[in-house]
Amino acid sequence: MVVDVRAIARAAPLVAPVTRRGKPLSVRMTSAGALGWITDQRGYRYGPEHPKGVPWPPIPASILAVWQAVVPDARPPESCLVNWYGPGARMGLHQDRDEADFAQPVVSISLGDDALFRIGNRDKGGSTQSLWLRSGDVVVMAGEARLRHHGVDRIVPGTSTLLDAPGRINLTLRVVT
């Protein structure tokens, strides 16, 4: 799967995203599939092309197989977001809510270093729970959990030997339309 992710990043290089206000995010991103996730000063959205103007590469079979195994009744995923977390990277609490059909699950795969994942509630605020995501772990956000706030507080560099440098790859698969 890592070999396949490297091929995605060759066809559609990792982008250092910035928020609408021009603030850089610590995670670097690219995508595979019909629709990729774009974060730039025009906002957040799904789009059919990498910022350099090429279509996103197809989602590799090795990644589709995980979706098939864990959510066999769902529609096929249209988007595979590749998040690259270097040693200091994190992702703030957010909901995944830019998809049209919340009855479809979100599946995320962790590769490389351990990450401290936090999950809260559908509404903002309230208590949260933290759990470690380790290389090979798969999270399914479906049903009641589909719209819960979640994020990554930190990774622990050097906890996995899977990748040749410290860091973490997260693959997030979604049905968009």
Q: Is 104 in the site for ligand AKG (CB under 6 A)?
A: no
Per the DSSP assignment, residues forming a β-bridge with 102 are none
Amino acid identity, position 37: W
Q: C-alpha angle 18/56/147, rounded to 5°?
A: 60
Q: Which does 104 bind (CB under 5 to 8 A by kind): ligand AKG, Mn ion, none?
A: none
Mark out the alpha helices in the chain (DSSP H runs): 2-11, 61-70
Q: Is 150 in the site for ligand AKG (CB under 6 A)?
A: yes
Q: Which of 29, 78, 82, 96 binds Mn ion (CB under 5 A)?
A: 96
Q: Is 99 in the site for ligand AKG (CB under 6 A)?
A: no
Joined tokens for residue 8: 């995605």
Contact between 60 and 77 (Cβ < 8 Å): no
Q: Which of 30, 31, 79, 83 binds ligand AKG (CB under 6 A)?
A: 83
Q: Which of 78, 96, 113, 114 binds ligand AKG (CB under 6 A)?
A: 96
Determine which helix (DSSP H) or strand (DSSP E) holds 120, and give its type and residue range: none
Alpha-carbon distance 93 to 105, whole Å?
18
Q: Is 99 in the site for Mn ion (CB under 5 A)?
A: no
Residues forming the site for ligand AKG (CB under 6 A): 81, 83, 91, 96, 108, 115, 117, 133, 150, 152, 170, 172
Residues forming the site for Mn ion (CB under 5 A): 96
